[in-house]
């Protein structure tokens, strides 16, 4: 029996200060996720984890399509992430159950989650999945503790290791953001690493991805530079040293037995877009994939939303 995809959507009310494409809104992102979930052949389980009060228009959508919870110990991305992981790891469920961890500023193709579940079903050797950009791992040269990534993203490099699943190319990736999929057994077994990684500062999501794969989370000299921060202004020394102490613990945590080293797979083409700036994905489109016009995806998602009484409005074209 096929188990439904479980989606944990973390959100907070504000938009932050990141540059955004002109069509961006968190209501649009929410609608596109619901649209993708509705396309699944088996209804998804949608859980909305809110860090603070939500605007009414977003809260009504959440209450209509899933379960709504309030983050107890929020106030930051890493805190809400750590709480989400701990709570979900305690939940009963089959080890191969697929969980999608979703941040609140992604735009999804309508079939994005269908492609995710197809890939997870076919790629039994992998426990982590993403449908948004990432650099290919050079599997042949990545040995021991050192991950080697290819100089371009996507799957088109001749050294990329690829698998085709229902017309989507999957390839081994090095890291991604805090939006990704994983099997429940991986969440349970990797909980300590994932939660500790969120304490390490900087690009902690990328470091956590490396840690679960058994690779060194930082380039040589990074932790040493934190612990000996004499090139920084003196007022920054305490913060740097504290960060270095936390990261020094992450290094042994990332040492994993071969059978515990995870495989992280991503899709080409991408099926979701992190709406941070412009309409371009984080790596050049490869020759094996067609360019996705994310402004068009935004318009399609907004039209779907309005057809389902979700008041998404896009700015008028100039």
Q: What is the pLDDT of residues 66-76, one digit of tens each?
A: 999 999 887 78
Query: What's phi and psi for 137, nearest 5 deg?
Result: -85, 135
274 with 160, same domain: the answer is yes
Residue 201 resides in a domain: no
Question: What is the pairing mode between strands 168-172 and 162-165?
Answer: antiparallel
Among candidate residues 215, 145, 204, 211, the one with its CA nearest the CA of residue 178: 204
% of the chain surpassing 70 pLDDT: 93
75 with 94, same domain: the answer is yes
Residue 234 resides in a domain: yes
Residue 68 resides in a domain: yes
44 with 144, same domain: the answer is yes
243 with 283, same domain: the answer is no
Q: What is the distance between the alpha carbons of residues 68 and 239, in angstroms, rounded to a whole number?
A: 36
Q: Which tens digits make up the pLDDT trace of 210-220?
A: 999 999 999 88
Q: Which tens digits make up the pLDDT trace of 101-141?
A: 999 999 999 999 999 999 999 999 999 999 987 778 888 78
Residue 317 resides in a domain: no
275 with 175, same domain: the answer is yes
43 with 171, same domain: the answer is yes
Tokens of 147: 């991950």
Residue 148 resides in a domain: yes
Among candidate residues 263, 267, 271, 293, the one with its CA nearest the CA of residue 153: 267
66 with 159, same domain: the answer is yes
Mean pLDDT of 196-206: 93
Instruction: Please tell me whether residue 177 adopts helix, strand or coil conformation.
Output: coil
Residue 231 resides in a domain: yes
Residue 120 resides in a domain: yes
Residue 267 resides in a domain: yes
142 with 247, same domain: the answer is no
Q: Per residue in 35-55, is it b (16+ CB within 10 Å) or e — as a string?
A: bbbeebeeebbbbbbbbeebe
Query: What's phi and psi for 124, nearest 5 deg?
Result: -65, -20
Q: Per residue in 132-161, is it b (16+ CB within 10 Å) or e — as a string?
A: bbbbbbbbeebeeeebebbeebbbbbeebb
Query: Which has the minimum average pLDDT: 47-56, 149-158, 173-182?
Result: 149-158
Q: Looking at the predicted structure, is the pLDDT value of residue 278 above 50?
A: yes
242 with 267, same domain: the answer is no
Strands (E), the chain: 6-12, 45-51, 67-70, 98-102, 106-108, 128-130, 135-137, 149-153, 162-165, 168-172, 180-183, 264-268, 272-274
- What is the pLDDT of the chain when averaged over all its residues? 90
64 with 135, same domain: the answer is yes
Chain-centroid distance, C-alpha 170: 16
Q: What is the distance between the alpha carbons of residues 88 and 84, in angstroms, rounded to a whole number?
A: 6
Q: What is the distance between the alpha carbons of residues 21 and 25, in angstroms, rounded to a whole number?
A: 9
Supply the CATH number for residue 15's domain: 3.90.550
Domain range for 244? 221-253
96 with 140, same domain: the answer is yes
Report the domain count for the chain.
2
Q: Looking at the predicted structure, is the pLDDT value of residue 258 above 60?
A: yes
236 with 133, same domain: the answer is no
Q: What is the distance between the alpha carbons of residues 10 and 239, in angstroms, rounded to a whole number?
A: 28
Is the pTM here over 0.75, yes or no? yes
């Amino acid at each position: 029996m096929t188990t439904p995809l479980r989606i944990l959507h973390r959100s907070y009310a504000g938009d932050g200060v990141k540059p955004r494409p002109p069509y961006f809104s968190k209501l649009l992102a929410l609608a596109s996720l619901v649209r993708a979930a509705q396309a699944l052949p088996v209804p998804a389980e949608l859980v909305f984890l809110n860090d603070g009060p939500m605007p009414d228009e977003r809260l009504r959508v959440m209450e209509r399509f899933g379960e709504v919870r309030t983050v107890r110990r929020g106030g930051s991305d890493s805190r809400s992430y750590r709480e989400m992981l701990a709570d979900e790891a305690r939940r009963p469920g089959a080890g191969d159950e697929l969980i999608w961890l979703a941040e609140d500023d992604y735009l999804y193709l309508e079939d994005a989650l269908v492609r995710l579940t197809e890939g997870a079903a076919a790629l039994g050797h992998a426990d982590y999945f993403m449908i948004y950009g990432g650099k290919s791992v050079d599997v042949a040269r990545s040995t021991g503790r050192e991950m080697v990534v290819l100089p371009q993203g996507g799957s088109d490099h001749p050294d990329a290791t690829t698998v085709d699943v229902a017309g989507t190319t999957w390839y081994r990736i090095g890291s991604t953001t805090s939006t990704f999929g994983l099997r429940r057994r991986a969440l349970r077994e990797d909980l300590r690493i994932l939660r500790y990684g969120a304490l390490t500062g900087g690009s902690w999501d990328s470091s956590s991805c490396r840690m679960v794969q058994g690779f060194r989370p930082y380039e040589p000299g990074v932790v040493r530079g934190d612990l000996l921060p004499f090139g920084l202004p003196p007022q920054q020394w305490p913060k740097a040293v504290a960060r270095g102490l936390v990261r020094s613990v992450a290094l042994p945590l990332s040492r994993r037995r071969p059978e515990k080293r995870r495989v992280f797979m991503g899709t080409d083409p991408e099926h979701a877009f992190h709406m941070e700036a412009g309409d371009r994905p984080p790596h050049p489109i490869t020759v094996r994939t067609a360019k996705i016009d994310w402004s068009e995806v935004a318009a399609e998602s907004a039209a779907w939303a309005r057809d389902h009484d979700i008041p998404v409005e896009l700015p008028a074209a100039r």
